Amino acid sequence: MPSERITISEVGARDGIQTEAAFIPTERKIELIDALTATGLKRVEAASFVHPKVVPQMSDAAEVMRGIQRRPGTRIGAFVPNSKGAEAALAAEVDDLKVGSAASEAFNELNVRMPLEKNLAVLRDIASLAKGSASRLVGVVGTAFGCPYSGPVDVERVARIVEAYSELGIELTYLADTTGMASPREIRAALEMLRPRFPAMTFGLHLHNTRGLGIANALAGLDLGVRDFESSIGGLGGCPFAPRAVGNISTEDFAHMAVQMGYSVDADIDALIACAKLAEEIVGHSISGMVMKAGKSTDLHAVPRENAAAPR
């Protein structure tokens, strides 16, 4: 029986909100982040320090950082693509500077407009800037299990990025299924190849539920000992490639499963459900979380007086 602790990195206020067409007012972003921090979650991503023209939704990153409550025990994270972003994030006292490269060259070229090796050089500059600060770098490998443009990804390219991250002193790397292309088979193959090769690196999973497999992929990771997961409250977010598709796995759905299986998580499920409902209210449309709609498996129903249509 597992009785181990899982650490969830909540990315709803960044990766989740990023796909929202309407600008979410700064004070509402702050409200959501503060609610998430108050649940006891140990890692909460608050913003992305990118060019406001590239991601207008994140143009208030510095303001958001100034406005949020800092709770001892919760590390606030932000995505930084370059030195300029890193400087701004360091000025804002971001705890975790999230840095990323995509394993797919096609995706890299589109995402950061430079080839992998050049992008890794940019990350070295970010690491130099962060040196001596209280902040740490956390790595993300994008499209680690498949690229929407070029298809299957060679795990050797993932390994090349992890090697570069190790050289930068990064100790935690999330393998990201950016557009939900992985099945448990790819999750297992990647972990089984990478973990013996990088024994000092902690591997986490950043999963999307685009094709309904996000929680199954999380299970595959859990079974192999992964204890670090990135997810989004209420399943906030979407997929830029398919308007009706969903984005990140839902934090409370994943936590609900983990707790039912005997794992410990840092937040109470009821508190997470309340945050998911707040997130839904803030974005103003239905989001994909399921436990927020169905209730927990331990929430029982009163026996009805009249028999309804019999389910099976």
Cα–Cα distances (Å) from 234 to 16, 71, 89, 305, in that order, read 9, 22, 26, 33
Q: Which residue has the tokens 């999380």?
A: 218
Applying CB under 8 A, which of residues 219, 271, 274, 278 lies at the interface with a copy of itself? 219
* Total residues in contact with a copy of itself, by rule CB under 8 A: 79
Q: Binding to a copy of itself by residue 50, rule CB under 8 A?
A: yes
Q: Which part of the chain contacts a copy of itself (CB under 8 A), choosing from 82-90, 109-117, 118-126, 153-161? A: 109-117
Which residue type is seen at 263?
Y
Shortest Å, Cβ 71 to a copy of itself: 25
**Cβ atoms 12, 247 nearer than 8 A:** no
- Considering only residues 245-264, where is the footprint of a copy of itself by CB under 8 A? 245-246, 250, 253, 256-257, 260-262
220 touches a copy of itself by CB under 8 A: yes
Residue-by-residue DSSP string for 251-272? HHHHHHHHHHTT-B-SS-HHHH
Contact flag: residue 301 with a copy of itself (CB under 8 A): yes
The reply to whether 232 sits near a copy of itself by the rule CB under 8 A is: no
Among 82, 142, 160, 155, which residue's Cα sits nearest to residue 106?
142
Element (H, E) at 239: strand 238-239
Tokens of 301: 């129903």
Q: Which of residues 122-151 bind a copy of itself (CB under 8 A)?
A: 140, 142, 146, 148-151
Which is nearer to a copy of itself, 38 or 224 (by Cβ)? 224
Strands 242-246 and 238-239: antiparallel
Q: Which is nearer to a copy of itself, 132 or 286 (CB)?
A: 286
Stretch binding a copy of itself (CB under 8 A), from 25-33, 68-76, 105-113, 156-164? 105-113
Q: Chain centroid to CA 247: how far?
A: 10
The dihedral through the CA atoms of 204, 210, 213, 215 has a sign that is positive
When binding is defined by CB under 8 A, the residue of 33, 55, 122, 129 that contacts a copy of itself is: 55
Q: Tell me how far apart the alpha carbons of residues 146 and 158 are, in angstroms, rounded to a whole number.
A: 11
Of 239, 259, 272, 292, which is the active-site residue? 239
* 239 given a catalytic annotation: yes
Sort strands 7-10 and 228-231 into parallel, antiparallel or unpaired. parallel
Among 3, 156, 284, 307, binds a copy of itself (CB under 8 A): 307
**Of 198, 160, 283, which is closest to residue 233 (Cα–Cα)?**
283
Position 86, amino acid: A
**How many CB atoms are closer than 10 A to CB 35?**
20
Report if residue 287 touches a copy of itself, rule: CB under 8 A: no
**Is position 84 an interface residue for a copy of itself (rule: CB under 8 A)?**
no
Q: Which is nearer to a copy of itself, 33 or 269 (CB)?
A: 269
Position 23 contacts a copy of itself (CB under 8 A): no
Q: Which is nearer to a copy of itself, 55 or 127 (CB)?
A: 55
Residue 239 as a binder of a copy of itself (CB under 8 A): the answer is yes
Residues classed as catalytic: 239
